[in-house]
């Protein structure tokens, strides 16, 4: 198996060691019948052989699970949301396992809510998702709560800063946010922020 992977897909010994330590069951896999079709599927959605060498040792999900449905469709979904294969590749290199475990239905509901209720286009949301995937994976109720908090601070929903306000509010407790808000208000910085 190891020789076939090295010859066919460019994996080195150290890559194989990492993959097999994470997923020992691959030792029993048939390269041509089981693994090669999965690698071909990854190539078909835009990953090069060098991409695979980079991402497979860190993310065994694509070769561990059936490629006929869920994994490929999630990769396509996140590729569209993030904007490009290059950005998706960066996420995969950082072991962003959300790509495989995140719920597409929940993400789509959040995207619809942000677009319809807050006027935030998907392109802008993808910028936040690149920084933190968990933002778009939270429940719709949690997202609603963040929007209400941002409204209380007077941040206009049409402002380019509204989405970043939601992101910031999610990362900090109510007390910390209130303290920082008062400080910024004292120095007149809030008004400038809200105009953006």
Give me the number of domains the chain comprises: 2
pLDDT, tens digit, for every residue of 2-20? 555 555 666 666 777 777 7
Domain boundary among 66, 83, 101: 101
CA neighbours within 13 Å on the CB side: how many for 187?
7
pLDDT, tens digit, for every residue of 121-159? 888 888 888 877 788 888 999 999 999 988 988 888 888
| Whether residue 124 is found in the same domain as residue 93 | no
> What is the distance between the alpha carbons of residues 105 and 99, in angstroms, rounded to a whole number?
13
Q: What pLDDT does 164 receive?
A: 86
| Whether residue 96 is found in the same domain as residue 2 | yes
Range of the domain at 64: 1-101
Full-model pTM = 0.71
Token readout for 62 is 């694509």
Q: What pLDDT does 3 receive?
A: 55
Alpha helices in 94-173 (DSSP H): 98-101, 104-118, 122-131, 134-137, 140-152, 162-171
The answer to whether 89 and 58 are in contact (CB under 8 A) is no
């Amino acid at each position: 198996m190891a020789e076939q992977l090295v010859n066919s897909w460019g994996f080195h010994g150290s890559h194989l060691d990492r993959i097999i330590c994470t997923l020992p069951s691959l030792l029993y896999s048939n390269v041509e019948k089981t693994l090669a079709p999965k690698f071909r599927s990854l190539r078909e959605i835009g990953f090069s052989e060098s991409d695979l060498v980079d991402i497979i040792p860190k993310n065994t999900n694509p070769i561990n699970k059936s490629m006929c449905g869920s994994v490929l469709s999630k990769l396509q979904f996140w590729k569209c949301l993030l904007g490009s294969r290059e950005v998706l590749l960066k996420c995969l290199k950082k072991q962003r396992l959300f790509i495989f475990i995140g719920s597409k239905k929940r993400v789509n509901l959040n995207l619809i809510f942000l677009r319809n209720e807050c006027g935030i286009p998907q392109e802008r949301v993808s910028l936040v998702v690149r920084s933190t995937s968990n933002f778009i994976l939270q429940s719709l109720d949690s997202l609603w709560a963040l929007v209400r908090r941002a409204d209380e601070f007077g941040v206009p929903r049409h402002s380019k800063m509204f989405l970043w306000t939601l992101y910031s509010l999610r990362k900090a407790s109510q007390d910390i946010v209130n303290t920082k808000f008062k400080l910024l208000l004292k120095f007149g910085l809030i008004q400038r922020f809200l105009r953006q």
